[in-house]
Amino acid sequence: MLYKYAMLLLLNILLMTGCNTAPPTPLSPPGEPLALAEAAPVVEQETAIPPEPLKKVYLTFDDGPNSYYTGQILDILNDYGIKASFAVLGVNIDKNPDVLQRIVDEGHGIINHSYSHDYNRVYKSPEAFLEELESCNESIAGITGRGVKIFRAPGGPSKLNKETFKLLKQHGYVSISWNVASADTDPKGVSREQIIENVQKGIMQIESFEKTPIVLMHDGTEINRNGAAPGSALANYIRSRESGVAALPEIIEFLMDRNYTFAVVDENTPPAW
């Protein structure tokens, strides 16, 4: 009996002192979590950044294909994994069908640039211009199986009168010009640095106009590179072609740094101006 009373007394003492009891749960304001440690972790949601609009640039090379410089240009384009468009002459296709075949096989665009590029023949009449395009298309189709309706007038569209434009439109032809000139046809010859500067300045100007850049360069016509006298027209021409090839990698990298995508000329290419 005495033992029973002793145990009850000890139990009362423990209850009164709170020794062996768990700490009370803290009260929190209505609607708030019980404790910071018990609150659900806060997950920051990433804000989606819309992609930049696709910026296209069109690299175009006129007057080929030739047996020397066109291949070098194709090698560079292949190294960078990009596409360009070649404004070809029928007379040079007939001399270098394998080069045109390579252009097509590697996924580049084709532009009809007339058969001869001879201004006296091309601009003799609207019908003469149409005949030049049709003859070039015969050469193109002999390699690719079909001609093309995109054309670039030798010297530019300003040389075409209304009657010629009307006739060409009736036959489904679409004109493509340019708005960035490398100026690589200067009769005095141009350096690699001059070509790079011309293209870079042209790109900056076209961007200020919010237009899509269409860059004009030249792979050039078929020539005999042997025996060019220093300072002669042929020597200056060769110098310009070599400068263009040398300038191309830096031009491509400049455009890549400005987030351009390299596109092939087609019916959906925006007008130069």
Q: Is 252 helix (H, G, I), strand (E, B) or coil?
A: helix
The predicted structure's pLDDT at residue 49: 61
With respect to residue 27, please indicate whether it lies within any of the assigned structural domains. no
Q: Minimal CA–CA distance to 96: which of 226, 222, 223?
A: 222
> In 10 A of CB 27, how many CB atoms?
6
Residue 29 lies in a domain: no
Of 16-25, 69-78, 213-222, the least confident: 16-25
159 lies in a domain? yes
pLDDT surpasses 50 at 23: no
* Cβ pair 266, 109 in contact under 8 A: yes
Does 273 map to a domain?
no
Domain span including residue 245: 55-262
Mean pLDDT rounded to a whole number for the chain? 87
Q: Is residue 65 part of a domain?
A: yes
Q: Is the pLDDT of residue 18 over 50?
A: no
Asked if residues 73 and 87 have their Cβ atoms less than 8 Å apart, the reply is no
Predicted confidence (pLDDT) per residue in 182-237, tens digit: 999 999 999 999 999 999 999 999 999 999 999 999 999 999 999 899 999 999 99
Q: Is residue 223 part of a domain?
A: yes
- pTM for the full model? 0.81
Task: Read off φ and ψ for residue 28, nearest 5 degrees.
Answer: -130, 155
267 is a domain residue: no
Contact between 180 and 206 (Cβ < 8 Å): yes
Q: Is residue 228 part of a domain?
A: yes
CA-to-CA separations, 145 to 104, 137, 267, in angstroms, rounded: 11, 10, 19
Total residues belonging to the chain:
273
CATH number, position 68? 3.20.20.370
Number of domains composing the chain = 1
